[in-house]
């Protein structure tokens, strides 16, 4: 089993609509290269692919995953929560687009209720483009070469609850938490959880609290990368080596492989997720 990084950006991608700052345009005023919204793909030697998140970039990510899985299309989509970058790509499965048939969509009970109740998602259910599947913390969803586990995490849950995922392969485990409010608001000890997995792709929406001047950061809480670094200062070299930061806001300097922030993170023994990375499980 292999997990593929299909995108690393926060919900709105990079460049972001209306942004003319240097993080989105170069010195000539031209848009910087597109970075797709955070998504992972799972391929297996003897089975269909699975997609983690249905992003606004689903078309490219779905097609890329077909190519990575010997021409087999994804059969399942696992969705963490109902914020725009994580589920709105489902629209491309509808009658106006691919007109898929019974693609399994796994999510929290609140999320599944939302899909079945509110348009345009209800139409996807009614036309059987998707097959919604409630998934609660503690349940294991069997894959051909392993399974998926759900972890409830605290986040802005206006429409649905929020999950993190553990992907269990034949030999290794990968933790995926693209969104969480703050580590201290979680009743799970991150240190202990990291010891249980081989790779951990963690929320790195903002590098620091100074990143968005004029915005009230309390309204969009995420663990700043600097906070995660401080929290894990005393971790072993082996634990730090498991961590890959992901889910970067367009303003996050970690999107630039040559930034001082990138060098700070890497020199401290951590990693930065990049589209195209693969994790063999």
Taking residues 217-244, report their average pLDDT.
90
pLDDT category at 135 given cuts 50, 70, 90 is: very high
CA distance to 66, 105, 108, 180, 256, per residue, from 139 (Å) = 27, 15, 11, 20, 38
CB atoms within 10 A of CB 254: 23
Structural domain 2-280, CATH architecture: 4-Layer Sandwich (3.60)
Asked if residue 213 has pLDDT above 70, the reply is no
The pLDDT assigned to 155 comes to: 87
The pLDDT assigned to 218 comes to: 67
CA distance 117 to 225: 37
The pLDDT assigned to 211 comes to: 73
CB-side exposure of 167: number of CA atoms within 13 Å? 26
Q: Are 179 and 203 in contact (CB under 8 A)?
A: yes
Q: What are phi and psi for residue 84, nearest 5 degrees?
A: -55, -35
- The string of pLDDT tens digits covering residues 106-119 is 999 999 999 999 99
30: tokens are 């031209």
The pLDDT assigned to 258 comes to: 94
Taking residues 80-102, report their average pLDDT.
97
Asked if residue 209 has pLDDT above 80, the reply is no
207: tokens are 């590098």
Which residues sit opposite 25 in a β-bridge? 31
Taking residues 261-271, report their average pLDDT.
96
Asked if residue 210 has pLDDT above 90, the reply is no
Among residues 110, 53, 109, 99, which one has the least CA distance to residue 76?
A: 53
Element housing 75 (H / E): strand 74-78
pLDDT category at 214 given cuts 50, 70, 90 is: low
Among residues 222, 164, 201, 161, which one has the least CA distance to residue 281?
A: 201
For 236-267, give the secondary structure using H, E and C: CHHHHCCEEEECECCCCHHHCCCCHHHHHHHH
């Amino acid at each position: 089993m292999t997990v593929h990084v299909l995108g690393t950006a926060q919900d709105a991608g990079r460049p972001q609509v209306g942004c003319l700052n240097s993080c989105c345009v170069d010195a000539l005023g031209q848009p910087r290269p597109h970075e797709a919204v955070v998504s992972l793909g799972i391929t297996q030697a003897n089975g269909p692919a699975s997609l983690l998140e249905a992003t606004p970039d689903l078309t490219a990510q779905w097609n890329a995953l077909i190519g990575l899985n010997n021409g087999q299309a994804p059969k399942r989509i696992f969705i963490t929560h109902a914020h725009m970058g994580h589920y709105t790509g489902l629209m491309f499965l509808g009658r106006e687009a691919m007109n898929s048939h019974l693609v399994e969509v796994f999510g929290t009970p609140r999320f599944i209720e939302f899909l079945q109740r509110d348009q345009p998602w209800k139409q996807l259910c009614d036309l059987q483009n998707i097959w919604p599947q409630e998934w609660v913390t503690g349940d294991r969803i069997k894959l051909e070469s392993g399974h998926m586990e759900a972890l409830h995490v605290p986040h802005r849950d206006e429409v649905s609850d929020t999950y993190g995922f553990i992907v269990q392969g034949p030999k290794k485990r990968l933790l995926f938490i693209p969104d969480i409010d703050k580590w201290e608001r979680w009743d799970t000890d991150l240190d202990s959880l990291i010891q249980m997995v081989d790779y951990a792709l963690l929320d790195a929406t903002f590098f620091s609290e100074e990143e968005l001047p004029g915005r009230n950061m309390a309204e969009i809480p995420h663990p700043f990368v600097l906070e995660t670094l401080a929290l894990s200062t005393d971790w072993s070299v082996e634990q730090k080596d498991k961590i890959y930061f992901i889910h970067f806001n367009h303003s996050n300097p970690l999107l630039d492989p040559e930034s001082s922030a990138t060098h700070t993170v890497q020199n401290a023994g951590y990693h930065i997720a990049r589209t195209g990375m693969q994790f063999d499980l």
